[in-house]
Amino acid sequence: MSKMRYGILKAQDQIEFVEMPATHMYQLTALNRRLHKEIDKLTASHVPALPLVVAECNDLELALPDYKVIHGLTYINELEQAFAVVDEKTYPLISLLTEIRALQAQLEQWYEEEY
């Protein structure tokens, strides 16, 4: 089995832990930075809240049962669904969705090959 890597994401006072294949974690971090750079340009009335990747690590042991590790593909699927329903009129949202869907497709292929 391939090595996994963990992203630690923060939004206000919430922390999320996302498990990704080590070979794809950099893509999640880059996508997250790109989305943060562009999210303020969206003019829709409902723009999804987006946590910020604050750290990556190779090993993760959660000390509190209140926190859970989110499967990488689950996280990307939820991210895609959140941005797919944004009713944007002025900003080319399609470019952001294309980036999300590209990582989504790569992860789907990775998981199919690994499992």
Amino acid at 10: K
Full residue range of the structural domain in which residue 21 is found:
4-114
Q: Per-residue pLDDT tens for 95-113?
A: 899 999 999 999 999 989 9
- Residue 12, sorted as left (phi over 0), alpha (psi -120 to 50) or beta, turns out to be left
Q: Is the pLDDT of residue 21 over 60?
A: yes
Angle at the Cα of 88 from the Cα atoms of 82 and 89, rounded to 5 degrees = 170
- Position 40 scores a pLDDT of 87
Q: Cβ(19)–Cβ(9) under 8 Å?
A: no
Written as six digits, the tokens of 29 are: 């971090």
CA 43 to chain centroid, in Å, comes to 21
Q: What is the pLDDT of residues 42-91, one digit of tens each?
A: 888 889 999 999 999 999 999 999 999 999 999 999 999 999 999 987 77
pLDDT tens-digit profile of 1-12?
569 999 999 998
Tokens of 68: 């859970």
Query: What whole-number distance in Å separates Cα of residue 16 and Cα of residue 14?
Result: 7
Q: Which pLDDT score, from 0 to 100, does residue 2 have?
A: 64
pLDDT band at 115 (very low <50, low <70, confident <90, very high): confident
Helix ranges (H only) for the chain are 25-39, 72-84, 93-114
Domain count, the chain: 1
